[in-house]
Amino acid sequence: MVYPSFKSFNRTPGRPKVSGELMDMIEHLRSELMNAAEREDFNSVTVVELSQRLDQYIVMAQNQMLGR
- The predicted pLDDT at position 28 comes to 97
**Helix (H) or strand (E) run with residue 64 in it:** helix 45-65
Asked whether residue 24 is assigned to any structural domain, the reply reads: yes
User: Quick one: pLDDT at residue 7?
Assistant: 55
Q: What is the pTM of this model?
A: 0.75
Please determine, for residue 60, whether its predicted confidence score (pLDDT) is greater than 90: yes
Per-residue pLDDT reduced to its tens digit, 6-34: 555 555 566 668 899 999 999 999 999 99
45 within some domain? yes
Other CB atoms within 10 Å distance of the CB of residue 54: 19
Give me the pLDDT at residue 48, please: 97
In a domain, 4, yes or no: no
Q: Which domain holds residue 24?
A: 15-65
Residue 1 lies in a domain: no
Within 8 A by CB and 6+ apart from 27, the residues are 5, 6, 7
Query: Does the residue 34 lie in any domain?
Result: yes
Q: Has residue 33 been placed in a domain?
A: yes
Q: Does residue 2 belong to any structural domain of this protein?
A: no
pLDDT band of residue 53 (cuts 50, 70, 90) is very high
Torsion of CA 10, 51, 56, 67, to 10 degrees: 20
Number of domains in the chain: 1
pLDDT of residue 68: 79
In a domain, 8, yes or no: no
